[in-house]
Structure 1
């Protein structure tokens, strides 16, 4: 499981991205890159990390489910993910 501080840092970044999204779009459209560079670095969407909602794991995530591969497999085998079946052919 990811450390609580790393998960909290990512949540803080999400809030900053939402806060400055309109301003960033405005500056990009105007081509004002000098003013764009004055905004906080964490307000850029590329600084966000997709994390598992259960464990906070930062790698091997399925966006559709919001889960890492380990939790996805565990929940799928337990039958807790609707519409997911083990492949058989």
Structure 2
């Protein structure tokens, strides 16, 4: 199980990303349309003035049950350990374990 502080930090990043998503998208589109370098530089400064944790690239995908940040399956929101246990117990529909 991941530390509670790390999970809360991730939730805070998600909230910031949602809050600044519209502003960030607006500034990016505006930067593409502008032709002068001075205006582009000003827009880039505005983008850099936004909080660092509001960038979507800083988000991690975490396991729904354990909070593990690595080895996640996007379709199930589970890490590989939990996925394997649930697949063995036949708790995931449509998943069959292949064996030789």
Per the shorter chain, which TM-score range? over 0.9
What is the Cα deviation at residue 87 of structure 1? Answer: 1.8
Which of 72, 82, 85 does residue 93 from structure 2 map onto?
82
Aligned residues: 89
Structure number with higher helix proportion: 2
Deviation (angstroms), 1:88: 4.4
Match of 1:8 in 2: 8
TM-score, length basis structure 2: 0.85
- Superposition RMSD in Å: 1.0
Q: Which has the larger radius of gyration?
A: 2
User: TM-score if structure 1 supplies the norm length?
Assistant: 0.95
What is the SS of the residue equivalent to 1:37? Answer: helix
The runs of 4+ residues in structure 1 deviating greater than 3 Å are none
Instruction: Give ranges in structure 1 of 5+ residues lacking alignment.
Output: none
Corresponding residue of 2:68:
57
1:38-85: CA deviation from partner (whole Å, max 9, x where unpaired): 100010000100100100001101011100000000011111111111
Structure 2: gaps (5+ residues): 32-42
